[in-house]
């Protein structure tokens, strides 16, 4: 890999081993007409202050449900059935609803995948930000409004002083996403959980949101980020979790996972970002096995020992780089899998997009246009 994939560590200090958020053996089930779906099945990770942890994987792999489980913001059909969630010294699973409500938006804030559902259509966006500020801080109304205006400018809303009294439907999808980020930041959270926060914005605004997230982690805010875009992972992540069928199959520092993706699923996922690569369809959800390695029906390296029992235990491969694969167990031979690892580094997927490439977002006309951040007061 090139120097552009060097570690992005900023405020996540190597010597700071105290996690802000710890998730241990998390299990979340969704009730369906066909029976229970194990949407999150034994997931464990931690996030330290100032650290960015990215969760990647195909749609349906359990990324969003994992994030929603952290603060128990789950659909009615979903239930956490096992594991532990700890914020500092406090168990989030043991908290009564009223105490958990005081933590949401204050210590932990969410940016959801669909801003149209998270914004209230009957209130101006400025009022929604101001209300969040006043709920979580003892701030007078006028000062809260000034802070709301500052937040709108910080996330790159053009003419923020005019648009603060507009309603959500008067904004484009990308600008709605930026407003949702502003609301999430209004309570000055210790950890920001962001689910695909850059998908509805163009390349220029995406770059500015990346800089915003970097500045937040520089200030000590932890970031748990879900994304499909490996460029975002490369730009922001300290550590990466790769999920498939509700399980984590690989985890480690971003530079190690990108340099040498070890799990056959990670390799396939990374190759899928190359338009010239051969693509094999993932198995339908109903054919994913309930035991052993979940990826084995589609794995080119599957062997008999991949079947049966629990998901393979994590095996270390270098500093902090772990993979859930039988080929890396002490008595196994990983030669063939490692050969594929060398061919599966993201490569071209990390090339920056050209100007104007991607979804066009209202109000982003380049560095000098009305979408530019740092709009004068």
Assigned domain for 15 exists = no
User: What is the pTM assigned to this prediction?
Assistant: 0.86
More confident residue, 94 or 279: 94
At residue 227, the pLDDT reads: 92
Q: Facing residues of 252 across strands?
A: 240
pLDDT in tens, 28-68: 999 999 899 999 999 999 999 999 999 999 989 999 999 99
Q: Is the predicted pLDDT of residue 173 greater than 70, yes or no?
A: yes
- Answer yes or no: is 334 within a domain: yes
Residue 294 counted as domain residue: yes
Between 335-343 and 264-271, two packed helices, what is the crossing angle to 10 degrees?
Answer: 20
Residue 375 lies in a domain: no
Between 39 and 350, residue with greater pLDDT? 39
Query: Would you say residue 101 has pLDDT above 80?
Result: yes
pLDDT tens profile 319-340:
899 999 999 999 999 999 999 8
How large a percentage of the chain has pLDDT more than 90?
A: 66
Which residues in 235-265 are b (16+ Cβ under 10 Å) and which e? bbbbbbbbbbbbbbbbbbbbbbbbbbbbbbb
Q: Which domain holds residue 340?
A: 261-318+326-350
User: How many domains is the chain built from?
Assistant: 1
3-state per-residue secondary structure call for the chain: CCHHHCCCCCCCCCCCCCCCEEEEEEEEEEEECCEEEEEEEEEEEEECCCCEEEEECCCCCCHHHHHHHHCCCCCCCEEEEEEEEEECCEECCCCCHHHHHHHECCCEEEECCCHHHHCCCCCCHHHHHHHHHHHHCCCCHHHHHHHHHHHHHHCCCCCHHHHCCCCHHHCCHHHHHHHHHHHHHCCCCCEEEEECCCCCCCHHHHHHHHHHHHHHHHCCCEEEEECCCHHHHHHHCCEEEEEECCEEEEEEEHHHHHHCCCCHHHHHHHHCCCCCCCCCCCCCHHHCCCCCCCCHHHCCCCCHHHCCCCCCCEEECCCCCEEECHHHCCCCCCHHHHHHHHHCCCHHHHCCCCCCCCCCCCCCCCCCCCCCCCCCC
Q: Is residue 289 part of a domain?
A: yes
Please compute the mean of the pLDDT values over residues 115-127 and round it to a whole number: 92
Contact between 335 and 341 (Cβ < 8 Å): no
Average pLDDT of the residues of the chain:
85
pLDDT at 342: 81
pLDDT of residue 349: 53
Does residue 97 form part of some domain?
Answer: no
pLDDT for position 375? 43
306 belongs to a structural domain: yes
Cα atoms found within 13 Å of the Cα of residue 267, Cβ hemisphere only: 21
Is the model more confident about 47 or about 289?
Answer: 47
Categorize the per-residue pLDDT at 274 as very low, low, confident or very high, splitting at 50, 70 and 90: low
At 345 the pLDDT is 80
**What integer is the mean pLDDT of 238-247?**
96
* pLDDT beyond 60 at 353: no
Q: Is residue 139 part of a domain?
A: no
Is the model's pLDDT at 202 over the cut of 90?
no
Q: Model confidence at 347, in pLDDT bands (50, 70, 90)?
A: low
């Amino acid at each position: 890999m090139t120097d552009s994939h060097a570690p992005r560590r900023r405020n996540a200090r190597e010597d700071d081993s105290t996690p802000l958020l710890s998730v241990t053996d998390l299990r979340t089930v969704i009730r369906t007409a066909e029976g229970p779906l194990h949407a999150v099945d034994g997931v464990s990770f931690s996030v330290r202050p100032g650290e960015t942890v990215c969760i990647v994987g195909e749609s349906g792999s359990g990324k969003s449900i994992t994030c929603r489980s952290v603060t128990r913001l789950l659909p009615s059909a979903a239930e956490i059935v096992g594991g532990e969630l700890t914020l500092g010294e406090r168990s989030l699973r043991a908290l009564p609803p009223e105490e958990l409500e005081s933590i949401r938006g204050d210590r932990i804030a969410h940016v959801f995948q669909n801003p149209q559902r998270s914004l209230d259509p009957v209130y101006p966006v400025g009022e929604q930000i101001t209300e969040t500020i006043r709920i979580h801080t003892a701030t007078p109304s006028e000062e809260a409004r000034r802070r709301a205006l500052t937040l709108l400018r910080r996330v790159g809303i053009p003419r923020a002083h005019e648009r603060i009294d507009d309603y959500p439907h008067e904004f484009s999808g990308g600008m709605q996403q930026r407003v949702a980020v502003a609301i999430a930041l209004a309570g000055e959270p210790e950890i920001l959980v962001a689910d695909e926060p850059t998908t509805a914005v163009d390349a220029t605004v995406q770059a500015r949101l990346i800089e915003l997230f970097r500045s937040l982690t520089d200030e000590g805010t932890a970031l748990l980020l879900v994304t499909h875009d490996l460029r975002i992972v490369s730009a922001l992540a300290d550590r990466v979790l790769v999920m498939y069928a509700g399980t984590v199959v690989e985890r480690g520092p971003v530079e190690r996972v990108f340099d040498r993706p070890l799990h056959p699923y990670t390799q396939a996922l990374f190759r899928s970002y190359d338009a010239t690569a051969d693509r094999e369809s993932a198995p339908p959800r109903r054919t994913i096995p309930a035991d052993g390695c979940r990826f084995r029906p589609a794995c080119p390296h599957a062997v008999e020992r991949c079947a049966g029992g629990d998901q393979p235990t994590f095996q270390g491969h270098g500093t902090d780089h772990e993979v859930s694969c039988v080929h890396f167990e002490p008595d196994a031979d990983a030669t063939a899998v490692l050969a594929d690892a060398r061919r599966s580094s993201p490569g071209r997927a990390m090339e920056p997009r050209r100007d104007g490439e991607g979804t066009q977002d209202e109000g982003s006309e380049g560095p000098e246009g009305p979408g530019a951040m740092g709009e004068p007061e």
